[in-house]
Amino acid sequence: MLPHRRPRKKGRVEIIPMIDVMLFLLVFFIMITLQMITDKGLKLHLPTSSTAKTLPHPHFVINIQKDGNVTVKGKEMSPAQLESFLAADGDVGHTQVTIAADKGVPFQKFVHVMDTCQKAGVTQIGIATKTS
């Protein structure tokens, strides 16, 4: 007598777990892409320059508004807060910073921000301008 075999079940593709995985991957890549977008900064009236060059994307854009307030990544900072923020970046020697100052900002305020960057150890400092 031959052993009785069960009927073989056909495999089926479950679509629900596949949709879950695809949505998870989509959300993951969107979050990573959003972190890669550089800080555009605030709308400032930048000074013009005839010899302006395009720089690579900096790690941080430091905005100096017309009233003298310093803003980085949407947060207003004092010079001491800015220095500790930049120093906490890790490898400060390779941190790239661009200073975007409104053309109505007194030059002394610009120099204070530049000094603060240098005190934190940042050596790669760019200045944002518009081409004329």
Asked, for residue 15, whether it belongs to a domain, the answer is no
pLDDT tier for residue 12 given thresholds of 50, 70 and 90 = confident
Predicted confidence (pLDDT) per residue in 35-74, tens digit: 766 555 566 667 777 777 776 667 788 999 888 889 988 8
* Length of the chain measured in residues: 132
Q: Is 0.75 surpassed by the pTM of this model?
A: no
Cα–Cα distance for residue pair 57/70, rounded to 1 Å: 20
Asked, for residue 59, whether it belongs to a domain, the answer is yes
Predicted confidence (pLDDT) per residue in 69-120, tens digit: 899 888 899 989 998 888 887 778 788 888 888 888 888 998 999 999 998 8
Asked, for residue 9, whether it belongs to a domain, the answer is no
Asked, for residue 96, whether it belongs to a domain, the answer is yes
Among 60, 71, 69, CA closest to 97: 60
* Helix, coil or strand: residue 48: strand
CATH of the domain at 127: 3.30.420.270
Q: How would you classify the pairing of strands 48-49 and 130-131?
A: parallel
* 114: containing domain: 48-131
Quote the pLDDT of residue 37.
62
Asked, for residue 123, whether it belongs to a domain, the answer is yes
Asked, for residue 11, whether it belongs to a domain, the answer is no
pLDDT tier for residue 3 given thresholds of 50, 70 and 90 = confident
Residue 107 vs residues 99, 110, 114, 120: alpha-carbon distances, Å: 12, 5, 11, 20
Cα–Cα distance for residue pair 126/121, rounded to 1 Å: 14
Asked, for residue 33, whether it belongs to a domain, the answer is no
Total count of domains within the chain: 1
Amino acid at position 4, single letter? H
Half-sphere exposure of 130 (CA within 13 A, CB side): 10
